[in-house]
Amino acid sequence: MTITLSPITSAFAAEVGDVDLAQPIAADDLAAIKQAFWKYAVLIFPDQQLDADRHYDFARQFGPVEVDRVLDTSLHPHRIDPKFADISNLDAQGRIWGESSRQRMYKAGNKLWHTDSSFKYTPGLCSLLYARTVVPIGGHTEFADQRAAYDALPDDAKRKLEGLVAEHCIAHSRRRSGFHEFTDDEAKRLPPVPQALVRTLPESGRKTLYVASHIGRIFGMPQAEATVLIDQLIAHVTQRQFVYTHRWRPNDLVMWDNRCTLHRGTDFDDLRWVRDMRRATVSDHANSCIQEGLAVPV
């Protein structure tokens, strides 16, 4: 069986059919999936039956899977295996979280445009998010194509961005979404890290912006200028022509390239409905400055 590809637009987001991710994947199917992934950056695999092991095994085909550890596990015991980020509105006992729970305040940051794990020195390569329980209204995930947004910039803007390095920090995006309460231990574990503002994707040779709400400053640029530039770039990338909105069905697996897309969750009534998803995040092989041949600022 060879896979079937149904592009959503000619260059961004495609559905993949005729593949069962719960079975070992034939080498030529995996090669076809990878080729499609480097081209479309967002792939949707409908109607998959994935337990934790099958989900993990598929993610492993793309590189090492991160352990999810942002919040202190002594304050927040994991509900699910820490190989996965728990993208749900459930507490450790599996009940809908409380209105003022720390988890809820922290995860509100997922509603800002971001890319996963750019706040880690070796950032995220791709994420694989699997939907177990979805909600009847809202709770979509929007994706924006940072490659197409880069291509659409005027030449002088491209020149101005060349070689710039931004500082990403989870505390920064969380402050933007109203969460100020990292413990000292949490803050120490995730210090700010440098990342290139423009990247080149080795598989396609395409250039891409690499912006996110995790960015706090740009090295060598006055703060007022940097804050405005980052806001403008995020607004540019997330114009509707660069965005695909995924409306979840149960058992969808969606994977995206964190090097060249932004995403955010949309609102839903999270005190009423259960939304239960889990995400495997695959690490890139090196910091983006190193990949771009840029000096890593200290």
Q: Determine the residue with CB nearest ligand OGA.
A: 265
Rounded to the nearest 5 degrees, what angle is found at the Cα of 257, between the Cα atoms of 66 and 1? 100
Q: How many Å apart are CA 36 and CA 88, to the nearest integer?
A: 28
Smallest gap from Cβ 53 to ligand OGA, in A, equals 20
Give SS3 for 39. helix
Smallest gap from Cβ 110 to Mn ion, in A, equals 5
The interface with ligand OGA within residues 101-140 (CB under 6 A) comprises 110, 116, 127, 129
The interface with Mn ion within residues 238-297 (CB under 5 A) comprises none
Which of 25, 44, 87, 230 contacts ligand OGA by CB under 6 A? 87
| Cβ distance to Mn ion smaller for residue 258 or 288 | 258
| Cβ distance to ligand OGA smaller for residue 129 or 165 | 129
Smallest gap from Cβ 45 to ligand OGA, in A, equals 15
Which of 83, 174, 207, 279 contacts ligand OGA by CB under 6 A? 279
Give SS3 for 29. helix
Q: How many Å apart are CA 224 and CA 108, to the nearest integer?
A: 26
Contact partner at residue 195 from ligand OGA, Mn ion, none, CB < 5 to 8 Å by partner kind: none
Q: How many Å apart are CA 70 and CA 279, to the nearest integer?
A: 14
CA distances from 279 to 123, 202, 240, 252 (A): 15, 24, 25, 12
55 backbone dihedrals φ, ψ, rounded to 5°: -60, -45
The interface with ligand OGA within residues 139-178 (CB under 6 A) comprises 141
Length of the chain: 298
Closest Cα partner for 3 from 129, 38, 26, 12?
26
The interface with ligand OGA within residues 229-268 (CB under 6 A) comprises 263, 265
185 backbone dihedrals φ, ψ, rounded to 5°: -65, -45
Q: Determine the residue with CB nearest Mn ion.
A: 116
Smallest gap from Cβ 165 to ligand OGA, in A, equals 24
Which of 29, 116, 145, 292 contacts Mn ion by CB under 5 A? 116
Secondary structure element (H or E) that encloses residue 141, with its range: strand 141-145
Which residues make up the interface to ligand OGA (CB under 6 A)?
87, 110, 116, 127, 129, 141, 263, 265, 279
